[in-house]
Structure 1
Amino acid sequence: MGAEGKTRGRRERLRAETTAEIKQVALALMSSGGPGAITLRAIAREMGMTANAIYGYFPTRDDLVTTLIADVYTSLADTVEASWNAAPAEDPVARILAWADAFRSWALANPEGFRLIYGDPVPGYQAPEGGAAPDAAHRVCTGLAGLAADAWPHAEPLHAGSGFQWSDFDAGLVDKVRAAFPDLPPAAVALALRIWGHLHGLVSLEIYGHLLTQTPAPEKLYREELARLIRSLGLTPES
């Protein structure tokens, strides 16, 4: 590599490192001051940069927030997908537990990211048309449909009276779910969203500290809820 190539490579590396630091500082500011604390001027001040310099990385605060949401959502989707795929395909209980445990572990390791995508909105933020991270969000929802698909042979008799139609769900989600699980009926997608509600509710309470004064064992509470959920699907929880 010539001198010009080395110089270009060094600039690109430094730019990538600075971009990563900007995102880290933004999440740290959110952790200490809430969503409204994410401003380019505050980040520049924390990093010892001028405001004009940081605009060279993110022209607006909303560009930064959109990038953060996409990064965080993609990280979550990658994590839960990997855990689900690693569990035995023939064992629906193991697959549900793997996805659920990965979701909670990711949230506890990334509380600021969880709050960014599932918590209070960033004041004044305008997401791009279609959302900040539509593909990652659909991947998470499609993964939940996978949990329903795993359980559906056992759960179907318990949900035979469902009146859900495909028109009851987002068209983009329907396209992805039907491509991944062509035999899955609308009732199973509704079941997937109810599974999501069970898992998200307790994790959200834990992330926001609402369980701390109620129980010193949030993990045990989560496991008990998972066992109840698995039984409601016509399956037998692991002992």
Structure 2
Amino acid sequence: MVEVRNRRERLREEATAEIKAIALRLLADGGPDAISLRAIAREMGMTAGALYGYFPARDDLITTLIADVYTSLVDRAEAARDAVPEADPAGRIVAWGETVREWAVANPAGFKLIYGDPVLGYQPPSEGPAREAELRACSGLVGLAAAAWPHAAASQTIGAPAWPDFDPALVDHVRGEFPDLPPAGLALALRMWGRMHGLLALEIYGHLGPRAQQPDKLYRAEMLDLVRSLGLRE
């Protein structure tokens, strides 16, 4: 009996993995709206009803994909950051950024799923693994900004942001984890995110094209310029 159950579990895991792989390929080929349970069922030779036994609705599949993709990204970024001593905030920023790029180049469909066009009609859940991974990514970036803040504070005087300038849920999360960080520190984290993802999005969506023959070097130069602008040395 145990053997039969284990075999069923293994077959279910294999089918679930295939469903997710096909969904990501559909995303890569046709964008977010191409993800369809019926299309996946056709490709797998299953009925749509049988597929619903794995994912009751399209949104359940998308939520699972986001959780898997986001967790994979954050695991990699955190490991790269933590391999650099805390006494080297510049090196930790560069390690995080370059690891995000390496992951995105290897997983362009996943990058587009979490940072690209929204999936039409999809409502993300307010809790669960996908939300947890998103909060980990947020905490990671804000933590990098907080570590750089003692060096960068003097240069962050433009705009004078206040807490009401940001989403209340984001403010609650950040102030809970980094109570000493001022609003300008959160603004710095968001700008760091913009610099990490801006050039990367151009690359993933094909807009750099032949203009940059070595996008990895271009991206590293951007990261080095970022840390130097914060008064840090890599």
- Structure 2 CA distance, aligned partners of 1:159 and 1:34? 38
What amino acid sits opposite 1:198 in the alignment?
R
The match for 1:213 among 210, 215, 220 is 210
What amino acid sits opposite 1:206 in the alignment?
E
Task: Please give the per-residue CA displacement for 1:143-164, whole angstroms capped at 9, x wherever unaligned.
Answer: 1111111211110111246522
The match for 2:20 among 7, 20, 23 is 23
Q: 2:192–2:226: 8 Å Cα contact kept in structure 1?
A: yes
> Is the counterpart of residue 102 in structure 1 residue 84 in structure 2?
no
Alignment-derived partner of residue 125 in structure 2 = 128
Specify the SS of the correspondent of 1:133: helix
Q: How far 1:169 sits from its partner (Å)?
A: 2.6
What amino acid sits opposite 2:220 in the alignment?
R
Alignment-derived partner of residue 194 in structure 1 = 191
My pick for the range that moved more, 172-181 or 186-195, is 172-181
Map residues 158-169 of structure 1 onto 2, 5 A cutoff.
Answer: 158-160=155-157, 163-169=160-166
What TM-score do the two structures reach when normalised by structure 1? Answer: 0.91
Q: How far 1:166 sits from its partner (Å)?
A: 2.6
> Is the counterpart of residue 37 in structure 1 residue 34 in structure 2?
yes
The match for 2:50 among 47, 50, 53 is 53
Alignment-derived partner of residue 6 in structure 1 = 3
Q: 2:33–2:120: 8 Å Cα contact kept in structure 1?
A: yes
C-alpha change, 1:143 and 1:12, in structure 2 (3 Å) is: same
C-alpha change, 1:94 and 1:151, in structure 2 (3 Å) is: same
What amino acid sits opposite 1:135 in the alignment?
E
What amino acid sits opposite 1:69 in the alignment?
I
- Structure 2 CA distance, aligned partners of 1:152 and 1:69? 31
Aligned pairs, how many? 234
Q: 1:62–1:126: 8 Å Cα contact kept in structure 2?
A: yes
Task: Please give the per-residue CA displacement for 1:157-214, whole angstroms capped at 9, x wherever unaligned.
Answer: 1124652223333333333333333322221111000000001000000001110132
- Higher relative contact order structure (alpha carbons within 8 Å, sequence separation ≥ 6): 2
Aligned-residue identity in percent = 62
What TM-score do the two structures reach when normalised by structure 2? Answer: 0.92
Alignment-derived partner of residue 93 in structure 1 = 90
What's the RMSD between the two structures over aligned residues?
Answer: 1.9
Q: How far 1:40 sits from its partner (Å)?
A: 0.7
Q: How far 1:24 sits from its partner (Å)?
A: 0.6
Alignment-derived partner of residue 137 in structure 1 = 134
Q: How far 1:65 sits from its partner (Å)?
A: 1.0
What amino acid sits opposite 1:66 in the alignment?
T
**Alignment gaps of 5+ in structure 1:** none
Alignment-derived partner of residue 157 in structure 1 = 154
Q: 1:29–1:37: 8 Å Cα contact kept in structure 2?
A: yes
What amino acid sits opposite 2:46 in the alignment?
M
Q: How far 1:86 sits from its partner (Å)?
A: 1.5
Map residues 219-238 of structure 1 onto 2, 5 A cutoff.
Answer: 219-236=216-233, 238=234
Specify the SS of the correspondent of 1:71: helix
**Alignment gaps of 5+ in structure 2:** none
Alignment-derived partner of residue 76 in structure 2 = 79
Task: Please give the per-residue CA displacement for 1:16-60, whole angstroms capped at 9, x wherever unaligned.
Answer: 121111001100111122222211111111112121111110111
